[in-house]
Amino acid sequence: SAAVVSYQLVKDKQTREINPVVQVLGVGYDRTLGGLEIQLRLRDYLAQEFNALKKTKTDVTTSPRALAKLFKEAGRLKNVLSANTEFFAQIENLIEDIDFKLPVTREKLEQICEDLWPRATKPLEEALASSHLSLDVINQVILFGGGTRVPRVQETIKAVIKQELGKNLNADESATMGAVYKAADLSAGFKVKKFVVKDATLFPLQVSFERDPGDGAAVK
């Protein structure tokens, strides 16, 4: 997903306090694109390679337990290949007491997900379109989400925006930490520095009121 936001310091007319305000101007997203999709494709690739070894007559994809092991290793492989160009996938007792070990390169990962990379910039384009702004007025594109650690994703986005990417946030924790901070702000049990967020409404809203019969017609 992507969001176009403005950040500014605004003085409250009542309290006269100056607080940071973040306003969402536009959003874009692709529900089927992300780190999970890359991990699933790696899992399927590992399963395919294991079956090709023909160490057992059992198709590894028919075993939920084996698929879970492959999925976990695919996640580790994805993370390591974001920093290294080659790594060994290793799973002990994958199925029927058979161990599995396979060298996988970053080049192979990029090949497996070749059709995904062009889609990486679509949410950004949608966010800009919904905000009625162009890249010329965007000061910085900041990455968040674990999937943005993948080098090919960064290269694809950088080729479009023609500027350095902002990597000052923890890609894995930033969204969660923001939600925790907002929850603390809403809670009476915590006192945190005021931070105003003006979100965008993506879909039309409809509100209906039911009234009790009789005098007063109290609103439920």
Q: What is the pLDDT of residues 81-134, one digit of tens each?
A: 999 999 999 999 999 999 999 999 999 999 999 999 999 999 999 999 999 999
Please check whether residue 95 is in contact with residue 58, taking contact to mean a CB–CB distance below 8 angstroms.
yes
- 146 or 51, which is more confident: 51
Q: What is the pLDDT of residue 212?
A: 66
Average pLDDT over residues 32-44: 94
Task: Check residue 111 and give its pLDDT.
Answer: 96
Predicted confidence band at 213 (pLDDT cuts at 50, 70, 90)? low
Q: What is the pLDDT of residue 215?
A: 57
Domains along the chain?
2-32+117-198 (3.30.420.40), 35-112 (3.90.640.10)
Q: Is 188 left (phi over 0), alpha (psi -120 to 50) or beta?
A: alpha
CB neighbours of 86 closer than 8 A, spacing ≥ 6? 103, 104, 105, 106
pLDDT of residue 217 exceeding 60? no
